[in-house]
Amino acid sequence: MIIDAHCHLHFPQFNEDRDEVISRALDAGVVMINSAVSPGGIRSTLKLSEEYGKVYSTLGLSPSELNDSIVEETLELIEEHRKEIVAIGEVGLDYYWVKERENRDKEKINFKKFIQLADRLNKPLVIHSRDAESDVLDMLEPEDTDVMLHCFSGTINEVKKAVSRGYLVSIPASIIYSKQKQKIARETPLELIVLETDSPFLAPKPRTRNEPLNVKKVAEKIAEIKGLDLEVVEMVSTENAKEFFGLGF
C-alpha cells in the first residue's frame, strides 16, 4: 500500500475517465487523499469519498479566493462535514497569483480563520504555500495544529524550520525533474516525508496530466536520492500519512 497524500480527482481534467484513473490507482494499492479548493469542489470531493472506499477527503479553499461569502460558505461546509473529512486544506497563502499588499493581507485574515477552525475541530491542516513560505511559517508558529506542507517549495532554511517543528513535508511527482524538490527531499528526514501527486498537476513529465498511480515514481525517486530501499520509503511514508490523517486501516 502507498498513499497519495494530495490530489484533485474531481477536477474537470478527469471528466472523461475518472473511474479508470481511480481504479488504476486502487488496483495498484494506492490510497488517495483528495483535496477540495472551492465550495463546488467540496460537494464533488465528498461524493467521490462516498463512492470509493479508499479516496479520503480534505476540504479547503484556494487562498487566492478573496470573496467573503465564499470564504464563509467554505468554513460552514467544513464544519458541517467535519466527520467525513481527514483534514482541513488545502488552505494557506498564495503570493504568486495575489500581488497586491491589500489582497495579501486579506489572504492572511482568511488563512487565520481556517487555522482557528482546524484548532476548534481538532483536524490537521494541509497547507498550500506559493511564494509565501516565510509568512506561512510565521503564521503557523504559535499554533499546535498538525501540519502537512503540500508541495513545499521553501528554501533549505525554511525546510529546516518546518522539520524542527515536526511538520510533514509532502513531496510531489515533479521531484522526477525538479532539482529544488530533490534538494528538499534530501534535507527532510524520511520520518517527516509523505508522497503526493497533486494530480492533475505536477506530472513527472512536464505538460502532461498527472494521476495518483504516479505516486510510486515519487517513492522510487526518493529511495534513489536517499539511498534507501523502495519498500522502506513506501512503508515509512505510508505510516506518516496514516498517522497524520488518522486513517484506521
Residue nearest to Zn ion (CB): 198
In the complex, least distance from residue 227 CB atom to Zn ion, rounded to whole angstroms: 29
In the complex, least distance from residue 142 CB atom to Zn ion, rounded to whole angstroms: 25
Burial class (CB in 10 A: 0-12, 13-18, 19+), 14: buried
Tell me if 198 contacts Zn ion by CB under 5 A.
yes
Return the bridge partners of 4, or none.
Answer: 32
In the complex, least distance from residue 201 CB atom to Zn ion, rounded to whole angstroms: 7
Which residue number, 157 or 208, has a Cβ lying nearer to Zn ion?
208
Which residue number, 198 or 234, has a Cβ lying nearer to Zn ion?
198
Within 8 A by CB and 6+ apart from 15, the residues are none
Which residue number, 146 or 198, has a Cβ lying nearer to Zn ion?
198
| 61-99 burial: b if 16+ Cβ within 10 Å, else e | bbbbbbeeeebeebbebbeebeeebbbbbbbbbbbeebe
Q: Which stretch binds Zn ion (CB under 5 A): 46-54, 153-161, 197-205, 210-218?
A: 197-205
In the complex, least distance from residue 77 CB atom to Zn ion, rounded to whole angstroms: 18
Which residue number, 10 or 217, has a Cβ lying nearer to Zn ion?
10
Binding to Zn ion in span 11-50, by CB under 5 A? none
Which residue number, 151 or 193, has a Cβ lying nearer to Zn ion?
151
Q: Which segments within the chain are labelled E, that is strand? A: 2-7, 30-36, 55-59, 85-94, 125-130, 147-150, 168-171, 193-195
| Binding flags for Zn ion, 145-184, as an x/- string (CB under 5 A) | ----------------------------------------
In the complex, least distance from residue 32 CB atom to Zn ion, rounded to whole angstroms: 13
Sheet holding 85-94, edge to edge: 2-7, 30-36, 55-59, 85-94, 125-130, 147-150, 168-171, 193-195
Angstrom distances, CA of residue 164 to CA of 16, 65, 160, 192, 229: 43, 31, 6, 10, 25
Amino acid in the structure at residue 161 = K
Contact 59, 88 (CB under 8 A): yes
In the complex, least distance from residue 150 CB atom to Zn ion, rounded to whole angstroms: 6
Q: How many residues bind Zn ion (CB under 5 A)?
A: 1
Which residue number, 5 or 101, has a Cβ lying nearer to Zn ion?
5
Task: Give the binding site for Zn ion (CB under 5 A).
Answer: 198
